[in-house]
Structure 1
């Protein structure tokens, strides 16, 4: 369709695995997860790392909320340099491995610390591998986010959520044609309505515990009122006006490992400053009030066990704490 936003999904397919078949074996302390708090795709990896307790074995570098054509910058760190990798831009790690790399420099990315080379930026695979390949390093009580008996259902939900919601907000916001925008808008809210119906009967998307499906949906929902409703013209309703999805998002936000990864000032700065074709002034809005995320959610009535037979993760490391939305 003319004017439709098309996402480049051509990511580096290399994997970090227990058997090291791609040349990068699972090894505590060897890899650095580079993220940006602003990015919903990176947010997934941050959440899964928290839920599984991988903080002691996979360090995390946090890029600033804005970037230019040369990639994400470590401008939050002293001297504008990642203290572990010793680089100013994520692009440098890509070019060490691929000197002629000409695709997007994206987060999340796993970087091999000894060589300084990027290993992968394949965001869907990174979280699955954290769950499956890094098992020997999971914390006691870590949840099973991709249970074998539910994988086909999780995959089906994730596929629909990706196309219509995760990427759907971008298809609406980045469209350059009225028809393309309206098509994306209609699919987005149709899918949200379907999920609202589903979640009116069950606490989580698949089964009675948190799974990869919830990890995929949450980053888009939690950003909805702050950026997608206005900035991306996804304005049929705010999330706070949709009771089921509002309370579902509240529930997850208040679950350790979810809300404690969300940095709203950086999220808003990224979208409103970087997307100058949509917001030429670069002015970041003061609102909206997001304190509703801390109000009671009432989802307990639907049953469910957030971590199954497991337990919640402990508090995040001091260096990774984020401000409250209230």
Structure 2
């Protein structure tokens, strides 16, 4: 049995230990991040991420636009912008080299819907590396994605400054071309044989709407980049064709489908070669992409 004098010392000590334990649990709970990505997947992180990289080149551009570059720890073979990305160690994302990834000790990997299979993300999660998906259907989704990165990484102010500026430029373009009569019909091809094109459910459609034009592919296919027949393209009869210079497409496209020389884009020499990265990547360079498209549509 403790004497009364001993109890006076022991009880405060027990209370201190209990309070310390509570404080530690509260601190851990406060540091824990519960995230829900664009696919609705819930991720639980024990702390704010400090070591990250991306499996998608578009998202790599986003990370560099928002974060302190010291927090970006790797690059993939397709990453080529900004130039600073080449200073990072290379990691294979297709197929994913799990050993390389684990050696880098990332707190979080960002990726894009359609780039990284879900089974790969689940395997990485089992290995202790959470994977956060974003998806984009509109230009606004890009800005939301940038702000999402800022929120997760403690760079909300930097992200907002960037997105405020980009939104302002997009709003000016939208105002310039709103309610345009007889919008140009634009077809963008990604492959010649078979003919793969940018479908209605791609960001290109929203870019064209901002510029007062339309994606000639109005039908919504299951795949974002559907394969079309030559008969389908003839029926679309686009005003503008994107995918290469006229000389390049003569060799790689029209030589295969000579009857497509009847489309308006060919007849009127409205064939253009966009920068592939600007065209295909939903990135912070979206305004640069819009400006390039504007130059093709309204030379």
TM range (shorter): 0.3 to 0.5
TM-score by length of 2: 0.34
TM-score by length of 1: 0.32
Structure with greater Cα Rg: 2
Q: Which one has a larger percent helix, Structure 1 or Structure 2?
A: 2
Q: Which one has a larger percent strand, Structure 1 or Structure 2?
A: 2
